[in-house]
Amino acid sequence: LKSPYSGGHLEVIVGPMFSGKSEELIRRVTRALIARQRVQVFKPAVDDRYHESAVASHTGRTVGALAVGDVADIRAHLSGEGPLLQASAEMPDVIGIDEIQFFGSELVPLALELADAGVRVILAGLDLDFRAEPFGCMPDLLARAESVEKLTAICTQCGAPATRSQRLISGRPARFDDPVVLVGAQESYEARCRLHHVVIH
Ligand code: ADP
């Protein structure tokens, strides 16, 4: 897929867990590297220190990435100290960011500034949370993007295309108002279709 946009622009890759978002991000980034473009990939760090890391898909493919604590870390890494990001010799041609649901709403102005400065920005993350509610600033990013790819996984219950992430707490569907972190519980996620996605109210 050759990007149809010549200048800076925003591409967003969304879908539920296991839909291949990381795979698709890795595919696009790998092609940019083959084209000898300057590429920088970021992902959220589990701890909040900068470190060299990699984006890995569930199939095990990887691409080098910088793990960052927050959007300010991304900004600091990219900019000389100025408040606005400028097109410059050091600015990458392509910036990829995985798991964007873990970043705050400051990601929106950053993505727009980068695209305005001529960068091809590729963002990947969950469009919906475990309740099937829009995730954070995703509606804003989807509306502003030049290109949106919605991927599906396979429903673990029926094999249909899965658009949602089922949260299970000790094997049972999670409640709508369960805290995001439940201490001491066994938590897992499955890809599910609309019919088989369950949220207890
Ligand atoms: P994401 O970034 O969207 O979570 P990944 O790119 O990490 O997805 O992984 C996608 C891969 O996960 C698929 O290519 C497939 O090998 C594997 N996989 C495991 N469970 C499922 C499922 N229920 N539906 C689709 N793919 C699955």
Question: Which residue matches tokens 């990887």?
Answer: 62
CA angle at residue 95 from 132 to 190, to 5 degrees? 25
126 found inside a domain: yes
Tell whether 58 and 46 lie within a shared domain: yes
Alpha carbon separation from 94 to 28, 32, 97, 134 (Å, rounded): 10, 7, 10, 26
Tell whether 179 and 143 lie within a shared domain: no
Q: How many residues does the chain have?
A: 201
Task: Report which of 158, 3, 194 is spatially closest to residue 93, judged by C-alpha positions.
Answer: 3
What is the residue range of 36's domain?
9-151
Tell whether 48 and 103 lie within a shared domain: yes
Quick check: 179 and 129 in contact, CB under 8 A?
no
Q: Is residue 58 in contact with ligand 1, taking CB distance under 6 Å?
A: yes
Domain count for the chain: 2
Tell whether 14 and 77 lie within a shared domain: yes
Q: Whose CA is nearest to atom 21 of ligand 1?
A: 18
Tell whether 103 and 194 lie within a shared domain: no
Q: Is residue 113 in contact with ligand 1, taking CB distance under 6 Å?
A: no
Query: How far away, in angstroms, is 79 Cα from ligand 1 center?
Result: 34
4 found inside a domain: no
Q: What is the pLDDT of residue 84?
A: 61
Question: Closest ligand 1 atom, CA of 16?
Answer: 3
Active site residue 99: yes
Q: How far apart are CA 173 and CA 189, in angstroms?
A: 10
3 found inside a domain: no
52 found inside a domain: yes
Question: Which residue matches tokens 């591409």?
Answer: 11
Tell whether 140 and 78 lie within a shared domain: yes
Tell whether 17 and 30 lie within a shared domain: yes
Q: How far apart are CA 102 and CA 43, in angstroms?
A: 9
Tell whether 182 and 128 lie within a shared domain: no
Low-confidence residues of the chain: pLDDT under 50: 1, 48
Non-local CB neighbours of 132 within 8 Å, separated by 6+ positions: 164, 197, 199
Q: Is residue 125 in contact with ligand 1, taking CB distance under 6 Å?
A: no
Reduce the DSSP state of residue 140 to 3 states and report it: helix
Q: What is the pLDDT of residue 104?
A: 93
**Strand runs (DSSP E) across 73-160, as ranges?**
94-97, 120-125, 147-150, 153-154
pLDDT digits (tens, 9 = 90+) for 31-90: 999 999 999 999 999 754 566 788 888 888 888 999 999 999 999 999 865 556 666 768
Q: What is the DSSP track for 59-111?
A: T--EEEEEEESSHHHHHHHH-SS-SS----TTS-SEEEE--GGGS-TTHHHHH
Non-local CB neighbours of 51 within 8 Å, separated by 6+ positions: 45, 66, 67
Q: What is the pLDDT of residue 67?
A: 94
Q: How far apart are CA 17 and CA 129, in angstroms?
A: 10
pLDDT digits (tens, 9 = 90+) for 67-80: 999 999 999 999 86
Query: How far away, in angstroms, is 58 Cα from ligand 1 center?
Result: 6
Q: What is the pLDDT of residue 80?
A: 62
Tell whether 124 and 199 lie within a shared domain: no
Query: How far away, in angstroms, is 81 Cα from ligand 1 center?
Result: 39
Tell whether 110 and 174 lie within a shared domain: no
Non-local CB neighbours of 147 within 8 Å, separated by 6+ positions: 5, 9, 10, 11, 12
CATH of the domain at 160: 3.30.60.20
Mutate which of 14, 19, 138, 188 for ligand 1? The one with the most ligand atoms within 8 Å of its CB, which is 19
Tell whether 112 and 189 lie within a shared domain: no
Question: Closest ligand 1 atom, CA of 154?
Answer: 24
Q: What is the pLDDT of residue 179?
A: 75
- Torsion 74-165-146-138 (CA) sign: negative
